[in-house]
Structure 1
Amino acid sequence: MSIHVGIGGWTFEPWRGPFYPAGLAQKRELEYAGQHLTGIEINGTYYGSQKPESFANWAASVPDGFKFSVKASRFTTNRKVLKEGAASIEKFLTQGLTRLGDRLGPIHWQFMATKKFDRDDFAGFLDLLPDTQDGLPLRHAIEVRHESFRDQAFIAMLRERNMAVVYADSDEFPCIDEQTADFTYARLQRSQEDVETGYTDAALDGWAKQAKDWAKGDRDVFLFFIAGAKVRNPAAAQALIARLGT
């Protein structure tokens, strides 16, 4: 069991000062983030393919035990018929992400808010997601953003495949609070700019307790501070890590 806490990406100009020290070279920002956080959600992969060497370099920049989640390409999930996306899924998975090695955490598959639950099509899509890639085990986290997914048929198909439904704490999208895998994937999206740590002490205490509850029974937890007042997300992650003692 382990709890990994982090942010989305690591390149963001407003973090230079509040998070990254003045004068730190941009090429060393990931190294710095790796020393102060325990996970990062790679978002650039959503927009386009990356080079295998990039994944290898990212893995070498962070310490043992650090985990990257990788956001799946939009071409795999923003489709009218999901189960016809085998080629785009293969292209995404073979771009070199396994060069992350033991730093690879879950693959994050995010769907648009307009995508409704179609039982047959969605089951067909999930069946396209492999358990391994290049001999490396894969974990899949599924983020849906339409109320039609509040369906026990959807929850059951995730449990059958040991895939996690993303816990999205957001003002915009539904939060499906179900444990469907041997890990939990949470995206917290309510940080406030007028709070130095993004969340109040009471809120952070609550999330620390929730993370520990999720981790019971040897369940791994991946928790990322995303969106909201983005400038505050590194501080929120650090404050939560301090409460968890990880």
Structure 2
Amino acid sequence: MPVHVGTSGWQYRDWSGILYPPDLPQRLWLEAYAEHFRTVESNNAFYRLPSPEIFARWRERTPPGFVMAVKASRYLTHIKRLRDPKEPVHRLMEHAASLGERLGPILLQLPPTLQADAGALDACLACFPAGTRIAVEPRHASWWTAAVRGVLSERGAALCWADRGSRPVTPLWRTADWGYVRFHEGRADPAPRYGRTALRSWAERIADAWPADADVFAYFNNDPGGAAVVNAHSFERLTAGGDP
């Protein structure tokens, strides 16, 4: 199964000496990252949408076959709260298009206070160009309804399977022929790492849910102390059939 494993972001200063040589300048970190992982989730766009030129430079700095998922702007998800999505979606995709073949899924992480609105979600998803892979990570319990599941399935959008505390915090719905998983915080020592048992459980869930030829993207967001780096390496070995 082609499980694409990486981390959420790559520009963390405490990764110097863990993933990056201590003397490596930050401007070369993306190239070094791409030597270890074949995908990354860029969260830069959530805070401030990079220009098309920056996306193009990221494309040039990464090797063929590298995939960059993009977390959608908080303007769309947290400020507009999915309302009037046409312009912010168009702007996001216009900029991200400069990644070319490196462009992977778009992540819509919804605010924890945003309650379910299946109609607004459907209208937002409809604004994306055909063929765009969209993952949606709701964080309010009101979203776990048949109506929301139906919208995701009809639009071919993946419900993001999220983990916090080494357990799923979302339903394990398969709403698309591809998958998206995010690991926020494990319970192993040192915190916030994930232990072997938790990682094995997730590898089994993924293998049970998708056929061998499905694309599944898995990103570790437990960045403090390089925990995401350690866990992503282990999970990549696990999903490839090796020893973590």
Q: Return the TM-score normalized by structure 2.
A: 0.89
- 1:227 is matched with 222
Q: Distance in 1 between matches of 2:32 and 2:10?
A: 10
Unmatched 5+ stretches in structure 2? none
Q: CA RMSD in A?
A: 2.4
Paired amino acid for 1:102: E
Which stretch of the first structure deviates more once superposed, 85-94 or 218-227? 85-94
What whole-Å deviation, never above 9, does each CA across 1:113-170 have from its counterpart, x for those lacking one?
1111123333222222221xxxxx4111111111011101100111011000111112
How many pairs are equivalent?
A: 240
User: Following TM superposition, by how much is the alpha carbon of 1:57 offset from its aligned partner in structure 2, in angstroms?
Assistant: 1.8
State the alpha-carbon separation in 1 of the partners of residues 111 and 53 from structure 2: 30
Pairwise mapping of residues 10-25 of structure 1 onto structure 2 (< 5 A)? 10-25=10-25
Return the offset for 1:52: 1.6
Instruction: Verify: 1:190 aligned to 2:189, yes or no.
Output: no
Identify if the C-alpha distance between structure 1 residues 29 and 160 changes in structure 2 by more than 3 Å, giving closer, same or farther.
same
Say which is worse superposed, 102-111 or 53-62, in terms of deviation: 53-62
Counterpart of 1:134 in structure 2 is none
CA drift of 1:31 comes to 0.9
Match of 2:113 in 1: 114
Identity, in percent, stands at: 32
SS at match of 1:157: helix
Letter of the 1:112 partner, please give it: P
Q: How does 1:12-161 map to 2 (within 5 A)?
A: 12-79=12-79, 82-95=82-95, 97-131=96-130, 137-161=131-155
Taking a change above 3 Å as real, the CA distance of residues 183 and 90 of structure 1, as seen in their structure-2 partners, is: same
Q: Aligned partners of 2:111, 2:205: CA distance in 1, in Å?
A: 27
Structure 1 gap ranges (5+): 132-136
Distance 1:200 1:104, change over 3 A: same
1:193-212 to 2 correspondences below 5 Å: 194-195=189-190, 198-212=193-207
Deviations 1:85-108 (A, max 9, x none): 21122222212x112122111000
* Counterpart Cα distance in 2 of 1:203 and 1:121: 34
SS in 2 for 1:160: helix
SS at the partner of 2:185?
coil
Per the TM alignment, residue 226 of structure 1 is displaced from its structure 2 partner at its CA by 0.7
Once residues 30 and 23 of structure 1 are traced to their aligned partners in structure 2, the CA distance between those partners, rounded to angstroms, is 15
Rounded to whole Å, the distance in 2 between the matches of 1:225 and 1:15 is 14
Could you tell me how far 1:182 is from its partner in structure 2?
A: 1.4
Cα deviation for residue 71 of structure 1 reads 0.6
How many angstroms does 1:3 deviate by?
1.3
- TM-score, normalised to structure 1, is 0.88
Q: 1:173 to 1:214 in 2, by over 3 A?
A: closer
Give the superposition deviation at 1:32.
Answer: 1.1
Aligned with 2:104: secondary structure?
Answer: strand
Q: Give the letter aligned to residue 176 of structure 1.
A: P
Aligned letter for 2:123?
A: G
